[in-house]
């Protein structure tokens, strides 16, 4: 029931971690709307990342709503929503419950909306909650699991963990990873440094990719101006970090997982600034207009970076000039924006696709030209 500015429900408390107690209870669709809100992925005025949830998937929401409103004999909704309780709650254990029990039954008191916002954020079940808000039956009971977490880092970490086996957009994961400071599963941890570098490349004015990387959190008008897929660039960085011959491989401490971000950034700035200077007409164009900015072009040039920067001294003030000289033979041999690839069986310039065979063929070609000088 609702009492004043609080919501009281019968709940089961499970203490897995005393700092973040877990509660299991049931809410009606109406109560869920009163209590929760969605932390949408976006950017502050200063460009910092905020929130973590992707946008509404209308077809998915519509299908759930249709099911909830159906006239069939029963409606079964067994999957619990997962909430992060962002404001302090009170739990009063029922009398006679032993302290050594794995769980305790009792009464949970949760504050309702204040001028600072609602008391719970959806971590998992956004589409289901939106469907419940549109359903005709407002008293429909919904199972809920909620954990106490006032800090955004814990919320983001749990969001990534809960959705680690779900098809979250790679761009969304890439934006969230640099902002999670807790320990992540090995698969996600391996992508954390590339994700952080992708963010740095997009925001640092010294970067040739400054403002060119398309990220889910930016407004549609900003995304339209961005021409580089963050997932494509992430692939380049991940491959360089994970391959022993990669230019970024030496910047990760395999024992501790720590990454020399400053050193890795110097490698990326030096090489890709030289690429931009070598192909000024192809740089900054959309992938439809320039295959250099296409996934295939980026991956092929990323492999060339691994070779060109293998022994480079990033503190050498003349490094970028040397790279420009070494890349110069590619100027007249690459057909990024027009014509055809004479050395690739006459393939049309825009015939290059993000296929393993095309990426391998293009990689072999640019490396042969580079080595031939």
| Structure-block tokens of residue 96 | 């006679």
Predicted local distance difference test score (pLDDT) of residue 180:
46
Q: Tokens 């992708």 belong to which residue?
A: 198
- pTM, to two decimals: 0.57
Beta-strand (E) ranges in 31-118? 36-37, 42-43, 49-50, 81-85, 90-93, 103-111
Residue 76's alpha-carbon distances to 12, 83, 139, 140, 141, in angstroms, are 22, 20, 14, 10, 10
| Nearest of 296, 360, 286, 282 to residue 327 by alpha carbon | 282
Which pLDDT tens digit goes with each residue over 8-34?
999 999 877 777 788 999 988 888 878
Which pLDDT tens digit goes with each residue over 261-306?
888 899 999 999 999 999 999 999 999 999 999 999 999 999 999 9
């Amino acid at each position: 029931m609702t009492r004043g500015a609080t919501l009281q429900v019968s709940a089961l408390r499970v203490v897995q971690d005393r700092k973040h107690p877990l509660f299991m209870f049931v809410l009606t669709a109406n109560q869920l709307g009163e209590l929760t809100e969605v932390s949408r992925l976006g950017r502050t005025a200063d460009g910092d990342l905020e929130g973590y949830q992707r946008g509404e998937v209308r077809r998915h929401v519509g299908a759930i709503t249709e099911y909830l409103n159906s006239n069939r004999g029963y409606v079964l909704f067994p999957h619990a929503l997962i909430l992060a309780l962002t404001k302090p709650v009170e739990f009063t254990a029922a009398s006679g419950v032993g302290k050594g029990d794995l769980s305790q039954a009792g009464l949970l008191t949760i504050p309702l909306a204040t001028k600072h916002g609602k008391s719970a954020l959806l971590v998992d079940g956004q589409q289901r909650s939106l469907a419940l808000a549109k359903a005709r039956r407002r008293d429909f009971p919904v199972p809920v699991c909620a954990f106490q977490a006032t800090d955004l880092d814990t919320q983001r970490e749990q969001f990534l963990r809960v959705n680690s086996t779900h098809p979250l957009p790679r761009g969304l994961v890439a934006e969230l990873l640099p902002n999670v400071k807790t320990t992540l599963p090995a698969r996600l941890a391996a992508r954390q440094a590339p994700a952080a570098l992708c963010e740095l490349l997009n925001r640092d004015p010294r970067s040739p990719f400054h403002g060119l990387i398309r990220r889910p959190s930016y407004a549609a008008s900003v995304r339209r101006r961005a021409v580089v897929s963050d997932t494509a660039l992430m692939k380049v960085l991940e491959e360089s970090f994970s391959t022993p011959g990669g230019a970024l491989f030496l910047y990760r401490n395999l024992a501790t997982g720590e990454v020399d971000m400053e050193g890795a950034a110097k490698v990326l700035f030096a090489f890709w600034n030289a690429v931009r200077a070598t192909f000024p007409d192809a740089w900054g164009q959309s992938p439809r207009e320039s295959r250099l900015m296409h996934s295939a072009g980026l991956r092929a040039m990323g492999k060339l970076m691994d070779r060109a920067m293998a022994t480079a001294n990033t503190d050498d003030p003349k490094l970028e000039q040397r790279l420009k000289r070494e890349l110069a033979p590619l100027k007249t041999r690459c057909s990024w924006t027009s014509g055809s690839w004479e050395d690739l069986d006459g393939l049309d310039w825009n015939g290059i696709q993000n296929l393993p065979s095309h990426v391998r063929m293009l990689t072999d070609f640019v490396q042969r030209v580079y080595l031939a000088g």
